[in-house]
Structure 1
């Protein structure tokens, strides 16, 4: 019963994260990896993320920054391949702890960004930063469905305002998550039980997305950035010590 409740909460957060504050999805990643085998959890959560992506793309597609997308997408594909190779060789315990470490590192990076020097935006605008972000996003999304904090770091350094941030993220992750499907199928991650459980959770993703759409324009970016950072750190520690 508790496990089912946790998965429902995770599904609601996925929907909300896709249409409001993306970093909250890190909590869902941690929940899924804690109550399911880590490899199975990456497949289950992927299908829910794609559901949320469809809603986000439909509502924010006109806000997307195609210039930013063109810089990031070419570097994402090598990151996906690296992530798939990593998944093929690690066991469940290593993967769970790897997810925790990734979330903790990304939370620390977001905190560092808040204290960055005045020329941080210049660093964020470089081609090297775009390539590094793309590869890291591809790897972390393939192994842990946790690329949100990576792209958040990059987009915040660019000074991207909220709606443009949401539109760019929606299209980027929709494309990336679709690209992950064949990798996940090839690794045998989509068992019948995983698919059935995911289908039952899809309505909760839609409810979360609905709530996010109605609250996003009233959100204080500063306060929610702090909350997301704290939640990511707590989720990461829980996975590492589990």
Structure 2
């Protein structure tokens, strides 16, 4: 890791803590909203280091989400996705072997903009979606390989697989609780699987874990707030804010 806990200013730590809270919120309320957290971590920390620091924070949020929605997962969908996701993770790992910090920063910025576009497309597709369950299931089976590879690559390179998987699950016709339960188990398994790759690439080390230890407690209040807000939040407005913040974060990284 290129930065230690002692190099971070109080203002930077406050920004990281707020981003960690948003991770918890996104895991129990609006999956994919943590693209804002990704932008904050990549802005405060070196781009490569940010992915290693953020991963344990995400896993902590995944654990809380599974504890909350564990009974609502749809396992046939998960098993359908995992082979393609594994291929995407391998491709992402190969990319990280040669990508330096400048390439990583540009890549994360580009991925954030891509994810914003994916989210917009997801919302438009959801608005046009037909209610026929059989058609949704068939479509989900056909889309699984492409979404899985893209999700695996983006989650390995930038921890940014949330919007890809959100689009897939919504296009497959999932209701709120099924969506949250399936997403929770998916990311807990995938993110845990990424840990050995991240350690091997030097993205996770003693310094990054020390920073994680200082930040992980902020995930809990975010998750509690998300669980409270999930049935009350104005989803349309919140997604618009997420898209706007994601675009700004991506542009900041590209122009930095």
Equivalent residue runs for 1:7-156 within 5 Å: 7-116=16-125, 118=128, 125-156=139-170
Query: For the residues of structure 2 that align with 1:103 and 1:45, how far apart are their CA atoms?
Result: 15
Equivalent residue runs for 1:149-188 within 5 Å: 149-188=163-202
- Do the aligned partners of 1:120 and 1:157 also contact (CA within 8 Å) in 2? no
- Do the aligned partners of 1:76 and 1:135 also contact (CA within 8 Å) in 2? yes
Deviation per CA, 1:135-185, whole angstroms, max 9, x where unpaired? 111100000000001001111212211111110100000000010001011
Query: For the residues of structure 2 that align with 1:69 and 1:125, how far apart are their CA atoms?
Result: 15
Query: For the residues of structure 1 that align with 2:144 and 2:194, how far apart are their CA atoms?
Result: 20
Deviation at 1:87, TM superposition (A): 0.6
**Structure-2-length-normalised TM-score:** 0.89
> Hey, what does 1:206 align to over in structure 2?
220
Distance 1:167 1:238, change over 3 A: same
Report the secondary structure of 1:22's partner residue: coil
Query: For the residues of structure 2 that align with 1:149 and 1:113, how far apart are their CA atoms?
Result: 9
**Structure-1-length-normalised TM-score:** 0.94
> Hey, what does 2:248 align to over in structure 1?
234
- Stretch deviating more after TM superposition (172-181 or 106-115): 106-115
Deviation at 1:28, TM superposition (A): 0.6
Query: For the residues of structure 1 that align with 2:15 and 2:144, how far apart are their CA atoms?
Result: 35
What is the total number of aligned residue pairs between the two structures? 242
